[in-house]
């Protein structure tokens, strides 16, 4: 992840709105959105499910096997937590939604343990 920082006033707004996750989780989400947008042929609105899978992929890209542990340290333990982060960022004016978007769009997209375990491809090197 790049060295993004949130301005103190934005962080204060996040805390006041009940933001319960580590500061890095909000930065991670903004970076994951950019990661996803770069995977698409053109920038567009994305669904909660698309963003949840992009968060998994981006975390694996950034942290490898430690990805689920890093996310857990930040308080992110299920896909619904991604929704809380997104809607907190919406509430402070950093993101926008479409009328049909709901926080429930992030519910039970995948189980963290299974999604992160199945995403890693083990490679065995032959002995010389």
- Read off the tokens for 92: 């402070």
pLDDT in tens, 10-43: 777 887 777 789 989 999 999 999 999 999 999 9
- Quick one: pLDDT at residue 98? 94
Q: Tell me how far apart the alpha carbons of residues 119 and 128 are, in angstroms, rounded to a whole number.
A: 28
Between residues 123 and 66, the one the model is more confident about: 66
Name residues whose C-beta falls within 8 Å of residue 127's C-beta, 6 or more positions apart in sequence.
Answer: none
Q: Within 17-127, where are the H helices?
A: 23-39, 48-63, 67-73, 79-91, 112-119
pLDDT in tens, 86-116: 999 998 888 999 999 999 999 999 999 889 8
Is the pLDDT reported for residue 84 higher than 90?
yes
- Quick one: pLDDT at residue 2? 46
**Alpha-carbon distance values, 2 to 5, 14, 31, 86, 115 (Å):** 9, 20, 8, 19, 24
């Amino acid at each position: 992840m790049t060295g993004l920082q949130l301005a103190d006033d934005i962080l204060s707004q996040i805390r006041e709105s009940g933001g319960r996750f580590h500061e890095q989780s909000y930065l991670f989400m903004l970076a994951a959105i950019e990661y996803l947008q770069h995977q698409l042929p053109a920038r567009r609105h994305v669904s909660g499910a698309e963003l949840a899978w992009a968060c998994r992929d981006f975390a694996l890209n950034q942290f490898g096997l430690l990805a689920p542990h890093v996310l857990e340290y930040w308080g992110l333990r299920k896909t619904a937590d991604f929704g809380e982060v997104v809607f907190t960022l919406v509430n402070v004016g950093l993101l926008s939604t479409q009328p049909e978007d709901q926080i429930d769009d992030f519910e039970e997209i995948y189980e963290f343990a299974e999604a992160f375990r199945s995403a890693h491809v083990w490679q065995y090197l032959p002995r010389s």
